[in-house]
């Protein structure tokens, strides 16, 4: 008689928390790694990346969230909860950036960040969430669609606008 042994593999816990200005330099490598193969949509120079991260952080520090696994920063999201969308003439939670380090992609980090970002947007009373995604970034476009975002136009040649209606639950 043989006995099957089942092995349980546990994933390390993903901690989502408010990012700190002091972590921006460390996030440069997370950004570079996350944009590997998609450089046409990214800043590339270290100083440019840092300036961009600083802008994201300053834009809405409470909406700048990081993902940490066993003490390592593996991703971040930047949500500006009081953004005015000129094209659609409405207030929205603008998701400026969602980046996950290459080694941690497809392991739930991006979804955890997105859910935390959507929770933040709802807590700020936002009725809509919106973002821009690279038109040839098919993987991300499909992923956003599965999360309820709808394509709503194009801009600046290589970007697709996506919008999601948020339901504020009381």
Q: How much is the pLDDT for 4?
A: 60
**Residue 43 token pair:** 């800043």
Q: How much is the pLDDT for 114?
A: 98
Residues 79 and 63 sit within 8 Å (Cβ to Cβ)? yes
Q: How much is the pLDDT for 86?
A: 80
Residues 19 and 65 sit within 8 Å (Cβ to Cβ)? yes
Average pLDDT over residues 137-144: 95
**Percent of the chain at pLDDT above 70?**
92
Confidence of residue 137 (pLDDT cuts 50, 70, 90): very high
HSE (side-chain half, CA atoms, 13 Å) at 164 = 24
Average pLDDT over residues 102-128: 96
pLDDT higher than threshold 80 for residue 139: yes
Q: How much is the pLDDT for 7?
A: 65
pLDDT tens figures, 80-102:
999 988 877 788 999 999 999 99
pLDDT tens figures, 42-53:
999 999 999 999
**Residue 27 token pair:** 């996030």
* pTM of the complete model: 0.89
**Residue 48 token pair:** 């440019």
Q: How much is the pLDDT for 88?
A: 73
């Amino acid at each position: 008689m043989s006995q099957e042994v089942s092995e349980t593999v546990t994933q390390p816990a993903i901690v989502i928390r408010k990012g700190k200005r002091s972590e921006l330099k460390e996030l440069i490598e997370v950004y570079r790694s996350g944009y590997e193969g998609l450089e046409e949509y990214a800043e590339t120079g270290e100083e440019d990346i840092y300036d961009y991260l600083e802008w994201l952080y300053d834009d809405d520090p409470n909406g700048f969230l990081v993902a940490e696994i066993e003490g390592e920063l593996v991703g971040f999201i930047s949500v500006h909860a009081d953004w005015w969308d000129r094209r659609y003439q409405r207030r929205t939670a603008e998701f400026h950036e969602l980046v996950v380090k290459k080694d941690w992609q497809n392991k739930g980090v991006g979804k955890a960040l997105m859910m935390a970002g959507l929770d933040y947007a709802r807590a700020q009373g936002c009725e809509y969430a919106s973002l821009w995604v690279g038109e040839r970034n098919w993987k991300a476009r499909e992923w956003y669609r599965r999360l309820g975002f709808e394509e709503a136009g194009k801009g600046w040649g290589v970007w697709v606008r996506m919008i999601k209606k948020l339901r504020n639950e009381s």
